[in-house]
């Protein structure tokens, strides 16, 4: 795809004709790329999968996906992440409370805990007469970014292979329990968890905000009230979200998030726990 794209662009840039022909050729090149991207159906049609077949994931397949995901972007080519692969049923049960006992944790054939990891790099530096300075918050941010990039790349690859994924945001809510269960040393911090398996459900695809709701040209532009109405109007009118408002006895969908799902009290309490754990793990 890339070679063909560059062929079109090179041809257009060197083609001795008028600007119209050059524009047409470049448009063909761009459309070719778009058409190729449209074959990546797993990205456009992806759904979160929480129910899995009672079927294991072949170790060869899983390892290939984990290895291919390493080609994702990484700071300084250091790959500041580690992945804990959990297959053992007893270990899944030990991890479950840290994820509010969501059934996917124990029912999925594989649970992946992706960690921001500066332990390995620090050990390498120490063994090579280099003085590491990665016991700080910036280093955590760098390692967490690496880990999350790896996580998303793995998700794309796994879903393309036909596997189902559920991303558990609960990882950073009670990280201490995960650290103890997985015996994570200092300078290693869990940042993401994936339950992985062969899908045993075909849920409805969830909504997304329109592109104009997230894109800003050149500089960030504050949203006007009318723009907020336009951006969130579709989401608020969905029958399932209206039902969500009703069963929670709220006036608006936004109140469901502020008063029920992600409250200030919970956010502040878990923030304190997260900061305490970051300090314990050597990043503060």
Q: What is the C-alpha separation between 216 and 210, in angstroms, rounded?
A: 13
Q: Is 237 exposed, middle or buried (0-12, 13-18, 19+ CB in 10 A)?
A: exposed
pLDDT at 43: 87
pLDDT at 26: 58
| Segment 173-206, tens digit of pLDDT | 999 999 999 999 999 999 999 999 999 999 999 9
| Segment 148-165, tens digit of pLDDT | 999 999 999 999 999 999
Q: Is the pLDDT of residue 211 over 60?
A: yes
**Backbone φ/ψ region at 18: left (φ over 0), alpha (ψ -120 to 50), beta:** beta
């Amino acid at each position: 795809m890339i070679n063909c794209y560059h062929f079109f662009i090179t041809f257009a840039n060197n083609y001795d004709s008028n600007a119209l022909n050059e524009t047409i050729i470049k448009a063909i090149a761009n459309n070719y790329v778009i058409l190729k991207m449209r074959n990546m159906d797993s990205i456009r049609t992806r759904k979160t999968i929480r129910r899995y077949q009672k079927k294991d994931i072949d170790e060869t397949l899983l390892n290939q996906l984990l290895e291919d995901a390493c080609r994702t972007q990484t700071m300084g080519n250091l790959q500041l992440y580690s992945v804990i692969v959990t297959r053992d049923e007893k270990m899944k049960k030990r991890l479950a409370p840290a994820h509010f006992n969501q059934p996917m944790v124990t029912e999925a054939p594989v649970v992946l805990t992706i960690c921001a990891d500066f332990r390995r790099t620090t050990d390498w530096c120490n063994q090579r007469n280099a003085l590491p300075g990665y016991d700080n918050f910036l280093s955590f941010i760098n390692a967490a970014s690496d880990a999350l990039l790896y996580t998303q790349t793995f998700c794309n690859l796994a879903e393309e292979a036909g596997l189902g994924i559920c991303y558990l945001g609960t990882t950073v809510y009670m990280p201490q329990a995960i650290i103890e269960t997985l015996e994570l040393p200092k300078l290693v911090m869990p940042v993401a968890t994936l339950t992985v398996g062969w899908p045993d459900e075909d849920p409805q695809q969830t909504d997304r905000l329109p592109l104009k709701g997230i894109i800003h040209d050149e500089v960030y532009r504050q949203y006007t009230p009318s723009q907020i109405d336009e951006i969130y109007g579709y989401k608020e009118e969905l029958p399932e979200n209206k039902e969500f408002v009703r069963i929670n006895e709220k006036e608006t969908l936004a109140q469901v998030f502020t008063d029920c799902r992600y409250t200030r009290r919970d956010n502040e309490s878990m923030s304190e726990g997260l900061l305490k754990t970051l300090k314990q793990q050597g990043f503060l």
